[in-house]
C-alpha cells in the first residue's frame, strides 16, 4: 500500500487506511445533501457527465458500477444487467432503495449489490462488458490495485470508463484546490446549514489526487489498452478516462 508519508504528504496513487476510514464516514455523512451539493458545485454539469458515461453502455450489457454511492448514477442507467459495488453498507442501503425503485418503474429486474472495495472485487474474472467509476476512483486507497481488479472482471474487449474531478496538470490542480477550499465549502455550508459539514474533509481527496497523465500511465501499466484521459469541456471541472481490456 502506498503511503502518503513516503512522498511528503502527496501521493496520488494511494490513501492511508486511517485516512480512508475517516473519508468513508464523511461520505456517509454527506448522503442527505450529496446530490444537491454536487449539482451546485458543478453548475449542473454532473448530470451531463453522468449521461456521457451512461452512453458507453448498450442495452443488454452486463455493467458494474464500482463505488456506486447513493445510486446517483446507477438509478438512470437503463436496459442493462446492473451490479452496484460499494464498501459502505449505508451507501448500498440508499442505492438499493433508489435504484431498484427506478428499475421497477421501468419494468426492469432489480440490480445486484455487492459490499466490497475495488481493490478486492469478490466477482468472477471476465464477467462485465463495462465497468464505470463515477467520482469514486479518487477515493480508492490503492488505485493501481483497484484498476487491476477492474481489468480482471472485465470481459475481453470490455471497457472501463472513469469520471472524476479534473486535474490536467499542477496549475489546473492548484486552481481546483482553491475552488474546492473556498466556493465548494461555502456552497456546502449553505446547503447543509452546518459550519462543520463533510465537504471540509472531502476536499482533501482532491489535493492528494494525481494528474490525468499520471493515471493514464497507471492504466497502461496495469494492462489497459487504447487508454485515453482528458478534461471534459466546457468547464474542465471533470476528467474522463477510458481503457479497454484486450480481445482474447
Ligand X SMILES: C[S@@+](CC[C@H](N)C(=O)[O-])C[C@H]1O[C@@H](n2cnc3c(N)ncnc32)[C@H](O)[C@@H]1O
Helix (H) / strand (E) element for 92: namely: helix 89-105
Which residue number has the CB closest to ligand X?
69
Residues contacting 152, CB < 8 A, separation 6+ = 121, 125, 126
68 secondary structure, DSSP code: -
Rank residues 24 and 144 by Cβ distance to ligand X and give the closer one.
24
Q: How far is CA 248 from CA 83, 154, 156, in A?
A: 24, 12, 6
Least distance to ligand X, CB of residue 69, Å: 2
Which parts of this chain interact with ligand X (CB under 6 A)? 24, 27, 66-69, 72-73, 86-88, 91, 117-119, 134-136, 139-141
* Pairwise CA distance, residues 116 & 80, whole Å: 21
Least distance to ligand X, CB of residue 124, Å: 18
Rank residues 135 and 224 by Cβ distance to ligand X and give the closer one.
135
Rank residues 24 and 108 by Cβ distance to ligand X and give the closer one.
24
Rank residues 99 and 226 by Cβ distance to ligand X and give the closer one.
99
Exposed e or buried b per residue across 42-72, where buried means at least 16 C-beta atoms within 10 angstroms of its C-beta: beebbeebbeebbebbeeebbbbbbbbbbbb
Least distance to ligand X, CB of residue 168, Å: 21
Least distance to ligand X, CB of residue 119, Å: 6
Rank residues 86 and 129 by Cβ distance to ligand X and give the closer one.
86
Least distance to ligand X, CB of residue 195, Å: 22
CB 98, CB 61: distance < 8 Å: no
Amino acid at each position: 500500500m502506498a503511503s502518503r508519508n513516503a512522498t511528503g504528504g502527496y501521493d496520488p496513487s494511494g490513501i492511508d487506511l486511517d485516512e480512508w476510514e475517516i473519508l468513508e464516514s464523511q461520505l456517509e455523512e454527506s448522503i442527505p445533501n450529496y446530490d444537491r451539493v454536487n449539482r451546485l458545485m458543478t453548475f449542473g454539469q454532473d448530470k451531463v457527465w453522468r449521461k456521457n458515461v451512461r452512453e458507453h453502455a448498450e442495452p443488454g450489457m452486463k455493467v458494474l458500477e464500482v463505488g456506486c454511492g447513493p445510486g446517483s448514477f446507477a438509478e438512470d442507467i437503463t436496459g442493462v444487467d446492473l451490479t452496484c459495488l460499494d464498501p459502505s453498507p449505508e451507501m448500498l442501503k440508499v442505492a438499493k432503495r433508489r435504484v431498484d425503485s427506478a428499475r421497477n418503474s421501468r419494468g426492469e429486474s432489480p440490480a445486484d449489490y455487492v459490499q466490497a472495495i475495488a481493490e478486492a472485487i469478490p466477482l468472477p474474472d471476465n464477467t462485465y462488458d463495462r465497468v464505470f467509476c463515477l467520482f469514486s476512483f479518487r477515493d480508492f486507497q490503492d488505485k493501481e490495485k483497484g484498476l487491476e481488479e477492474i481489468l480482471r472482471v472485465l470481459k475481453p474487449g470490455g471497457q472501463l470508463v472513469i469520471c472524476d474531478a479534473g486535474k490536467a496538470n499542477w496549475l489546473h490542480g492548484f486552481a481546483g484546490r482553491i475552488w474546492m477550499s473556498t466556493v465548494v465549502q461555502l456552497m456546502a455550508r449553505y446547503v447543509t446549514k452546518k459550519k462543520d459539514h463533510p465537504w471540509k474533509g472531502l476536499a482533501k481527496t482532491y489535493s492528494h489526487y494525481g494528474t490525468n497523465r499520471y493515471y493514464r500511465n497507471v492504466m497502461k501499466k496495469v494492462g489497459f489498452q487504447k487508454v485515453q484521459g482528458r478534461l471534459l469541456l466546457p468547464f474542465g471541472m471533470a476528467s474522463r478516462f477510458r481503457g479497454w481490456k484486450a480481445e482474447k
